Amino acid sequence: MRVLDRHIGTSVLMSILMTLIILVALVGFITLMDELKDVGNGDYQTPDAFYYVLLLLPRRAYEVFPMAVLLGSLVGLGGLASHSELVAMRAAGVSLTRIIGSVLKAGLLAMLVVLVIGEAIAPNTEQYAERMRASKLSQQITLKSKYGFWARDGGSFVNIRQILPGSQLRDIYIYEFSEERELRVSTHANFAQYQDGRWLLRGINQTRFLADRIESRQLDEATWDSLLNPNILNVVVVSPTMLPVWGLYQYIDFMHENGQEATTYEVAFWSKVIMPLVTLVMVFLAVPFVFGVLRTVGIGQRIFAGSLLGLAFFLLNKVFSHLAVVYSLNPLFAAAVPGLLFLAIGFWFVRRIH
């Protein structure tokens, strides 16, 4: 039986890999065509666009992974069916349950791959890509370190410790230098809000370094004219769907402590938790389809059917994510419904085959 597991698993995994490469290449090409329109703005050049798209590929791979698994499983098992290998297995006494088990073992390996992409690779590469792109387009020097976000703002340097949703900042340090690179003014603000094209600072402590003395003052609020804008700052905050599970959990807890709505992040959290199981569901769903309605059709029809199923799953995910936000649905329920629905369809087809 180990030979059987290896043969089925190899066929399925190789098909999944080839499908994933094709889908990622296609999505990457479309992204590149869209990105080239910004070439020439600031310091952003064609090699930068290619590098940016290359860094985004792990995220694209994560997004299309369920469809790649479904399509790859259909193609891999379809190839075995076309050569009558599945029929020979059944004739030799191998049960449908046993074949499903072999396919799910391959699905476990695919599940590990999506975990590595979603938790370790995609968040880091996307964040670096967005910072690089924003720096090139705005011609500003930006850096994110363990001490927060750093940026050059004209003749000043800015350190922001916390960037919050809704164009809000906390714990901001502004260091203004003279042309001789001498520190003139050091400003700390507890909070900042972007309004009407400028920043409004609150809770300000300011120190001026003069030739013969140092002056300090405190202000309740003041405006801050800066080249930095929310579009530049937002690139250091990864899309909710790309944050690691633990990072999402911590951010949700932070938002709850501050009385902010976190439904979008909660849906993203449960979607990432469920994603490995969704991968197994997609692999499982391919088996009854190949043994049932897609048993005698060609590879083109299998790809077409798989594409429709993958698109349906993608749309269901989007619909329930938006419903959860608009109608305050339970985030776990909204994230789980598409996967459970496809699992039910798979079991229904298995029962029909039996």
Domains present along the chain, CATH in parentheses: 2-138+239-353 (no CATH), 142-227 (2.30.30)
Summarised one tens digit per residue, pLDDT across range 64-114 is 898 888 888 888 888 887 777 877 887 788 777 888 888 888 888 888 888
The three-state secondary structure class of 11 is helix
Tokens 């379809």 sit at which residue?
Answer: 78
Tokens 């070439």 sit at which residue?
Answer: 39
The three-state secondary structure class of 146 is coil
Q: How far apart are CA 279 and CA 342, in angstroms?
A: 11
> Average of pLDDT values for 6-25?
90
Provide the pLDDT for residue 340.
92
Q: How far apart are CA 292 and CA 303, in angstroms?
A: 15
Low-confidence winner among 246-250, 292-296, 342-346 (lowest mean pLDDT)? 292-296
* Whether residue 228 has pLDDT greater than 80: no
Low-confidence winner among 109-113, 115-119, 172-176, 291-295 (lowest mean pLDDT)? 291-295
Provide the pLDDT for residue 241.
59
Alpha helices in the chain (DSSP H): 2-35, 46-82, 85-91, 96-116, 122-138, 230-233, 245-257, 263-291, 299-327, 331-353
* Whether residue 50 has pLDDT greater than 90: yes
Distance of CA 64 to CAs 28, 79, 99, Å? 11, 22, 26
Q: How far apart are CA 74 and CA 58, in angstroms?
A: 23
Count of CB atoms situated within 10 Å of the CB of 245 = 16
Count of CB atoms situated within 10 Å of the CB of 270 = 20
CA torsion angle for 280, 81, 299, 61 (degrees, to 10)? 20
CA angle 345, 350, 354 (to 5 degrees): 150
Provide the pLDDT for residue 300.
67
> Average of pLDDT values for 52-68?
91
Summarised one tens digit per residue, pLDDT across range 298-341 is 666 767 777 788 888 888 888 898 888 788 889 999 999 999 99
Provide the pLDDT for residue 293.
59
Provide the pLDDT for residue 295.
58
To the nearest whole percent, how much of the chain has pLDDT over 90?
Answer: 16
Provide the pLDDT for residue 173.
92
Q: Pick the more confident residue, 353 or 214.
A: 214
Provide the pLDDT for residue 254.
66
The three-state secondary structure class of 36 is helix
CB-count burial class (<10 Å; 0-12, 13-18, 19+) for 275: buried
Q: Pick the more confident residue, 229 or 183.
A: 183
Place 28 in a pLDDT band, splitting at 50, 70 and 90.
Answer: very high
Distance of CA 286 to CAs 154, 322, 350, Å? 57, 28, 10
Q: How far apart are CA 241 and CA 168, in angstroms?
A: 21
> Average of pLDDT values for 56-63?
90
Provide the pLDDT for residue 142.
52
Q: How far apart are CA 154 and CA 151, in angstroms?
A: 10
Rg (CA), the chain: 26
Q: How far apart are CA 63 and CA 56, in angstroms?
A: 11
